Amino acid sequence: MNPAETPLFLLAGGFGTRLSSVVKDVPKPLAPIHGRPFLAYLLENYHRQGIRRFVFLVHHKADLMKAFVEAEIQQGILKGCDVKLIEEQQPMGTGGAVKAALKELPGVEHFLVANADTWLSAGIAELLNTDSPAIAAVWQENTARYGSLKTEGSHITQFIEKSPNAGAGWINAGLYRLHAGLFIDMPDVPFSIENTLFPALLQQKTLKFAAIDGDFIDIGIPEDYEKCKEYLKP
């Protein structure tokens, strides 16, 4: 698939409670890093990898997200891109937000989904070369915070729970290739891609992964937010 023709759904509606001790006034994707929102760096990263269709799924402090997106369309990285912003009237979880968005985007079949608070320096090309449904996976020397993936060939066979003594392994990097058919039979209620959809796909033995050689940072906790500031230092 051509990355320029593939919609990227950015999950940007969460409350960011784990980061609230250091980022209080803006939603987590807009956490300031060297005078710019984290999301600005993220969009540049995806734009560099060829993405030109962006769908923002927002809820918490949606007015701030709208203002940011509108500014980027006018004079930023989103100028000339195909951009949609869809606001949840109530929190729908990652899966519920995607299902609701698909109803407003007739004709969209295959698409990517990414967490708007997670940095992954590469992965778009690799994931688009992997059949849907698929997860981008990165190798971490310590998987204690994330849990890990058990794999066999190109498929994921198990999600291993978080454990303080987990050691090294592949983790879910928060970037997915999915298709609309996966959501047809899902209920119109809040649900999680990670906790509801993926376990069902494991049972069907259809969930694949793309191994990504890239830098990964989840800014969801203060420690890694500081790590990201250092990583993105000019």
Q: Is residue 94 part of a domain?
A: yes
Report d(CA 118, CA 37) in Å as an integer.
13
Buried b (16+ CB within 10 A) or exposed e, 155-189: ebeebeeeeeebeebbbbbbbbbbebebbeebeee
Instruction: For residue 90, count other CB atoms closer than 10 A to its CB.
Output: 8
pTM: 0.94
Phi–psi pair at 159, nearest 5 degrees: -100, 120
Closest CA to 3 of 119, 154, 114, 115: 114
Q: What is the pLDDT of residue 20?
A: 59
Residue whose structure tokens are 């376990």 = 199
What percent of the chain is predicted at pLDDT more than 70? 95
Report d(CA 83, CA 74) in Å as an integer.
11
Confidence of residue 1 (pLDDT cuts 50, 70, 90): confident
For residue 148, is pLDDT > 90?
yes
C-alpha distance from residue 70 to each of 67, 75, 78, 105, 128 (Å): 5, 9, 9, 19, 28
Average pLDDT over residues 165-181: 94
Range of the domain at 33: 3-135+173-190+221-231
Q: Is residue 120 part of a domain?
A: yes
HSE (side-chain half, CA atoms, 13 Å) at 52: 8
- Distance from first CA to last CA of the chain, Å, rounded? 33
Q: Is residue 195 part of a domain?
A: no
Q: Is residue 203 part of a domain?
A: no
For residue 22, is pLDDT > 70?
no
Measured in residues, the chain has a length of 234
Q: Is residue 23 part of a domain?
A: yes
Report d(CA 33, CA 36) in Å as an integer.
5
Q: What is the pLDDT of residue 60?
A: 85
Confidence of residue 13 (pLDDT cuts 50, 70, 90): confident
Average pLDDT over residues 35-61: 96
Q: Is residue 182 part of a domain?
A: yes
Q: Which tokens sit at 151? A: 């794999």
Q: Is residue 83 part of a domain?
A: yes
As for how many domains the chain has, the answer is: 1
For residue 134, is pLDDT > 60?
yes
For residue 16, is pLDDT > 70?
no
pLDDT top residue among 234 and 178: 178
Q: What is the pLDDT of residue 18?
A: 61
Q: Is residue 38 part of a domain?
A: yes
For residue 192, is pLDDT > 90?
yes
Residue spans of alpha helices (H) in the chain: 38-48, 62-75, 93-103, 124-128, 198-204, 222-231
For residue 200, is pLDDT > 60?
yes
CATH, residue 108 = 3.90.550.10
For residue 17, is pLDDT > 70?
no
